[in-house]
Structure 1
Amino acid sequence: MYKNKITQAVLLGLGLVVALPSFSTFAAQVPADIKLADKQQLVRANGTEPESLDPQKVSGVPESNVIRDLLEGLVNQDAEGNLVAGVAKSWQTTDNKTWIFNLRDDAKWSNGDPVTADDFVYTWRRLADPKTASPYASYLEMTTMANATDIIAGKQSPETLGVEAVDAHTLKVTLDKPLSYFASMLVHTSMKPVNKNAVEKFGDQWTKVGNYVSNGAYQLDNWVVNERIVLTRNNNYWNNKETVINQVTFLPIENQVAAMNRFLAGEVDMTNEMPNEHFKRLTKEYPQDVKVTPYLCSYYYEFNTARKPFDNGDVRKALSYAIDRDVLAKFIVGKGETPAYNFTPLSTNGLEVEMPEYAQLNQKQRLEKAKALLAAAGYSKDNPLTFKVLYNTSENHKKIAVAIASMWKKSLGVEAQLENQEWKSYLDSKRQGNFDVSRAGWCGDYNEASTFLAIMRTGHSQNYPKYASADYDKAIDDAILAPTAAERAADYKRAEASLANDMPIMPIYHYVNARLVNPQLGGYPMKNPEDNIYSKDMYFIAK
C-alpha cells in the first residue's frame, strides 16, 4: 500500500503482457536461530460472528479471515502482498485474455480427494449462478470472465462461463476483455473453491462441523455460534509439513475494549482492532504489542439515493461538506488514519487523483457551502432534515457516528438518529435497501483502483447506494480497456471526479490497521496492504 517496490503483482497491474512460468510458494519462514514454543495455538479476536463460511455467500472481512485458513485458491499472497502459488503451481498468459493455470498434483481436500481443475469450474459457475444469490457475483464481471455478465443476469447458462478444465490439473480461463491484473483478483475469498460433493450432499448445511470439506491448511473442528470457531491442522494439505501453528481459534468479540482486556490478560493473541480512546496509552505502555500497518481500506458513509431526500445531490453534498474529516481522523480515530475526500486510498497502485474543490477549502468555507446547498433543497430550522444513520455494532463505529451526527446538528440543524444493528442484520438491511444513510467500509480485494471504483458501477451487487451514472460507468469501462497505465489512471481520475460531483457516498478517512499482537507471534505480516493474514505462515517463538 505504501511501498513502491516493483513486484510481479504490481507488474500485472501496469498492463504488461507477461508469461509467468512459475511462482514461489510461501509458508512459515522460521529463522534458523529461532526456538519454537511447544504450544502452537493461535487465538484471534475476529470482531463479530461470521455471516457464513461459504466463500460464495459472504462479503465481509470477519468471514474472509476464517475462510482464508480453511480454503486455498489458485494463488495466495506473501507477507508483503506479492502473489505466490496456491493450488496453482504456475500460470501463463500471452495476451491477458486467455490464462492457463497449472495445478499442483499433490493438492487435496481434507477428506483426501484430489483438488482438480473441475473444482474451480464448479465453484466459479456457482458464483455466477443467480440461484446462488452471491453478494459477490459482480466480482466475476469485474474479472471480465467470458459470459459472466449474461449469466448473472439470467440470460445464459452458468455452463457457458469462460472457464474450462483442460484436464485434471490444467485450468483454462477466457476473458471477454484483456485484464492484466486478473491473477491478482484470484486471491479473493469468492474465488476460493468449494467441494462439490459436500455442497450437493448437504446443501446449505455443508458449512456445518462434520460436513465442511476444506483444502487449506486447516479444517473446521468446532463452531459454537457467538462463542468461538476452532480450526485444526488439515493433514491432507499439500504443504502441511511447513505449517507450524496447530490450532486457530476465532472469537467474535465486537467490543474493542473487551478484546483489549482479554489480550492483556493473555487470553487472546491478536485483536481485530484497538479501542480508539486507548491507542495512545497502549502505544506508550505496551509498545511491543501494538502493530500499525498499511491497510488498503476506505471508511465512508453511503446514501440510499433511491430514497428521498437523498435522490437530491445538493442534500448529499451538504451533509458531506459539513463533516470535519480532520477532527475525525486526528482525534476520534487517531491512529494514523488520513482524511479522505476521494474513495480510493491514495496509495493504491496506479492511482492518480485530482482532489475535488471542496477538499481544498477550509472547514468554515465548506460549512458555508453546505448551508447554502441545504437551504436550496428546502431545509431550515423550521423544516429540519431528519433521517436515520445505520451502523453495525461497534464502539468505534458508534463514536464516529455520534461525532458526525453532532457536527450535522451543530452546523446544519440536522437531526440524525443513530441505529445500530448486529453484523448479519446490518448486512441484510443494506442489501435490501432498508436504510437512509449507512456506515460503510471497503477494503481492496486486490491492489488496483478498480477494486474500489467498480463497486459504484450501475447494477453492481455491492452498489448499495444505488448510484447510477452513464459517465461514471463509461470511465470504468474505459479503464478496463485502457492500453496503457497512464490512460487507465486518467480514466480512474474521471471516475473519482464523478463521485465527488454526484456524492453518492461521503468518504471520511483512509484506514491504517492497528491491533494488539502477541510479541511471541512470529511471521506476522507488517507490509501486506490488504491485511491478508494466513495462520499457516506464522509461528510462536519460545519465551
Structure 2
Amino acid sequence: MRMLTRALPTGVLLAALLCSGAVMAGAERLDRGNGPEPSTLDAHRCPEVACANILRDIYEGLVAEDGAGRLIPGMAESWEVSADGRTWTFRLRKDLRWSNGEPLDAGQVVASFRRALEPATAAPHAHHFDAVRTIEAPDPGTVLFRLQRSLDLPRLLVLPIAYPVYLPAVDAFGARHTRPGRLIGNGAYRLKEWLPQAHIVLERNPHFREPAPIPEVRFHVTEDAASELRRFEAGDLHITETVPPQPLASLRERFGGQLRISPYLGSFWLGLNLRRPPLREQPLLREALSLAVDRDVLTRHVTGLGEAPAFGVVPPGIAGYEPPSPEWAQGTQAEREARARALYAQAGYSRERPLQIELRYNTSTPHRRLALAVAAMWREVLGARVSLRNEEWKVFVGNRRQGLITQAFRGGWIADVDDARDFLQLFHSEGANNWSGYVDPEFDALLAQADAAATLEQRAGALRAAEARLLQAHALVPLYFYTSKHLVRPEVEGFEANPLDRHPSRFLRLRD
C-alpha cells in the first residue's frame, strides 16, 4: 500500500512521529519498562521495586552501587568503622547540592534520617535500622552513626529509606512533595513529568557532580508483561522490566542476546491470612494447600524462565546461610498429594464439603497464569472451590496490608540486602510487612537471638531455626525462587547482571 506522507504538512507529520512512542529518541532518551504504577515517590515510604527503580536515579545515599551492584562512594567520599563495629563515620564530598542548586550538608542528612525512622513516617523498611542508637552531624561534612550492635551499615545505606529527603518541600507540600516541580533530590536525575498510569520522565540533574550520559529517562508503566513485550518488539522500549512466561527456547530464538536471564535474590509465595478463619486455626489445612501444589510443573510450564521450585522463604545464594529442608517437602509429588488429601480430610473438608477460598493477585499476565495453575491444582487434588480476584497494584497492596478481606494472596519479596533476615523479618509479629498476620513469640525470639549473636555462625543458626519454625507452621505456600528477566536492546551499554537486579540509569549508555 502506498504511503500518503505527501498529503501531510511536515510539522504535522513530525508531531505524529514524536507522539507515537514508536520512534526512539536516539541517544537522548532511555525508555525503560518499570512494571506497575509506583505507589509513591516518597523515598522513605517506598515499599516496592517500581518506586525504588526510579528513586535510585533521583537520589543518592551516603553509599551507592555501581552498575554491577558493588558498593561505591555516594554522598560520602569515605567511611570508617570503630574496632567494636558500633560507630561508623562518613566523610561527605565537598560541594554536595540538591537538584535545585542549594547546598546539602550533614545536618540535612541527619534530619532526613530522623524523619525516615520516626514512627509517624511508617517507613516499610525502618526495621533495617533497628540497631541505630543515634545519628549525629558533628560538623557539616561528617555523619556519625552509633549502633547498639555491630551492623554492616554501608550496604543498608543504598536503600531508598536512607536517601536524603528535602524537608522544606515535605513541610510545604506534605504528601504532595513528590510531584514534578516539588520533588527535590540529590541524584543524577530529577523528576520532570509524572503522567499517572503512563510514565514518569526524569531529566539530567545539572547540579550532580558527574553529568549522566543519557539526558532523559522515561519509566513506562508496564503492568502487563505481554503488552510490555509487544512494546519492546515495536521499538517503544530499550529495556523491559520482565519477560512474560513463554518457552525459553522460543524466546532465545526470537531475541538472542537481547534476552538477559540471571540469578536473583527473590522469593515468590502465596500468603495465607492468619487473622481470620478458615486458615487461622487450621495448620493442617494450610499444609494441605501447600502440599497440593506441584512446584515442578509451575516452574517448567507456567513460569518457565529458569525459576527454581521453592519449599522455603530464603532463596539460595546468600553467603553464610544454608536454608533448612523441611520434612514435609521430602518425597515425590504423588506422595505429597496423598498426604495433602489426608490432611484436608482431617481438617474437616471433602469433595462433598469443599473448602471455598479466594486467591487474590495484582493484575499481571504472569500472576494470572500462576493463579489459574494453583487454583486448578487445589481443585484437582483436594476438590477445593477456588475463586480468583485480580486488582490494580495500589488497590491490591492496600488490601493485602490491612488483611481484612484477603484469604490467599500473591506474596513475595526481592532482597533489599544479601541477608536471610531480610526475608524472615517479613513474618515478625510486629513487622510492617507481615501481610499474613503471623504471630509466634518463639519465631520473634529467634530473630532477636540472631541480632544479638556474637558470631556469624551463631547468627546463621538462629535464622535457620527461625525459618524452619515458620515453614513448620505453614504460614505461607512457597512456590519458586526468582530469576531476573529482561529484554535489553543492543544499543544499551552498561547493563550488568547482579543478584539484586539494580541498574541505575547513570551507569547506562545508548550507542548511536
Verify same fold: TM over 0.5.
Answer: yes
CA distance in 2, matches of 1:175, 1:196: 25
C-alpha distance 400-43 of structure 1, shift in aligned 2 (>3 A): same
CA distance in 1, matches of 2:244, 2:128: 32
Whether contact under 8 Å (2:27, 2:511) holds in the other structure is: no
Task: Select which of 86, 89, 92 maps to 2:80.
Answer: 92
Task: Select which of 36, 44, 57 maps to 1:56.
Answer: 44
Determine whether 1:461 maps to 2:432: yes
Report the 3-state secondary structure (helix = DSSP H, G, I; strand = E; otherwise coil) of the residue aligned with 2:191.
strand
Task: Select which of 254, 263, 268 maps to 1:285.
Answer: 254
Q: How far is 1:282 from its partner?
A: 2.1
Write out aligned runs for 1:466-505 (5 A).
466-505=437-476
State the one-letter code of the partner of 1:175.
Answer: L
1:295 corresponds to which residue? 264
State the one-letter code of the partner of 1:46.
Answer: N
Report the 3-state secondary structure (helix = DSSP H, G, I; strand = E; otherwise coil) of the residue aligned with 2:450.
helix
Task: Select which of 114, 124, 132 maps to 1:145.
Answer: 132
CA distance in 1, matches of 2:310, 2:194: 38
Q: How far is 1:279 from its partner?
A: 4.2
Whether contact under 8 Å (1:44, 1:250) holds in the other structure is: yes
Task: Select which of 394, 416, 424 maps to 1:424.
Answer: 394
Determine whether 1:72 maps to 2:60: yes
Q: How far is 1:277 from its partner?
A: 2.2
CA distance in 2, matches of 1:490, 1:130: 31
1:413 corresponds to which residue? 383
CA distance in 2, matches of 1:117, 1:319: 52
Cα displacement string for residues 49-69 of structure 1 (whole angstroms, at most 9, x for unaligned residues)? 111111112201101111110
**Stretch of structure 1 that moved more, 406-415 or 254-263:** 254-263
**Stretch of structure 1 that moved more, 110-119 or 278-287:** 278-287
Identity %: 36
2:16 corresponds to which residue? none
Q: How far is 1:329 from its partner?
A: 1.0
Write out aligned runs for 1:119-518 (5 A).
119-141=108-130, 144-146=131-133, 162-179=134-151, 181-240=152-211, 243-277=212-246, 279-311=248-280, 312-434=282-404, 435-518=406-489
Report the 3-state secondary structure (helix = DSSP H, G, I; strand = E; otherwise coil) of the residue aligned with 2:120.
coil
CA distance in 1, matches of 2:69, 2:177: 31
Q: How far is 1:278 from its partner?
A: 5.7
CA distance in 2, matches of 1:250, 1:447: 26
CA distance in 1, matches of 2:445, 2:367: 34
Report the 3-state secondary structure (helix = DSSP H, G, I; strand = E; otherwise coil) of the residue aligned with 2:44.
coil
State the one-letter code of the partner of 1:280.
Answer: A
Whether contact under 8 Å (1:350, 1:448) holds in the other structure is: no
State the one-letter code of the partner of 2:52.
Answer: S
**Stretch of structure 1 that moved more, 40-49 or 479-488:** 479-488
Q: How far is 1:115 from its partner?
A: 2.0
So what's the TM-score if we normalise by structure 2? 0.92
Q: How far is 1:38 from its partner?
A: 6.2
Determine whether 1:533 maps to 2:503: yes
CA distance in 2, matches of 1:536, 1:192: 17
CA distance in 1, matches of 2:119, 2:471: 32
Whether contact under 8 Å (1:479, 1:488) holds in the other structure is: yes
CA distance in 1, matches of 2:105, 2:395: 36
After superposition, the CA RMSD in angstroms is 1.4
Whether contact under 8 Å (2:60, 2:163) holds in the other structure is: yes
State the one-letter code of the partner of 1:217.
Answer: A
CA distance in 1, matches of 2:161, 2:359: 29
C-alpha distance 255-441 of structure 1, shift in aligned 2 (>3 A): same
State the one-letter code of the partner of 1:134.
Answer: A
Q: How far is 1:119 from its partner?
A: 2.4
Whether contact under 8 Å (1:458, 1:468) holds in the other structure is: yes
Q: How far is 1:529 from its partner?
A: 0.7
Report the 3-state secondary structure (helix = DSSP H, G, I; strand = E; otherwise coil) of the residue aligned with 1:316.
helix
Whether contact under 8 Å (1:117, 1:171) holds in the other structure is: yes
Q: How far is 1:507 from its partner?
A: 1.2
CA distance in 1, matches of 2:79, 2:390: 45
Whether contact under 8 Å (2:247, 2:304) holds in the other structure is: no
Whether contact under 8 Å (1:389, 1:416) holds in the other structure is: yes
Cα displacement string for residues 92-148 of structure 1 (whole angstroms, at most 9, x for unaligned residues)? 11222111111111221011112222222222221222322333333332xx112xx
1:45 corresponds to which residue? 33
State the one-letter code of the partner of 1:182.
Answer: L
State the one-letter code of the partner of 2:275.
Answer: A
Greater Rg over alpha carbons, structure: 2
Q: How far is 1:497 from its partner?
A: 0.7
Q: How far is 1:256 from its partner?
A: 1.2
Q: How far is 1:338 from its partner?
A: 0.2
Q: How far is 1:382 from its partner?
A: 2.3
CA distance in 1, matches of 2:364, 2:265: 20
Q: Which structure 2 residue ranges, 5 or more long, are not aligned?
A: 1-24
Q: How far is 1:292 from its partner?
A: 0.7
Report the 3-state secondary structure (helix = DSSP H, G, I; strand = E; otherwise coil) of the residue aligned with 2:351.
coil
Report the 3-state secondary structure (helix = DSSP H, G, I; strand = E; otherwise coil) of the residue aligned with 2:112.
helix
Whether contact under 8 Å (1:187, 1:446) holds in the other structure is: no
So what's the TM-score if we normalise by structure 1? 0.87
2:7 corresponds to which residue? none
**Stretch of structure 1 that moved more, 354-363 or 330-339:** 354-363
CA distance in 1, matches of 2:477, 2:78: 41
1:31 corresponds to which residue? none
Whether contact under 8 Å (1:128, 1:137) holds in the other structure is: yes
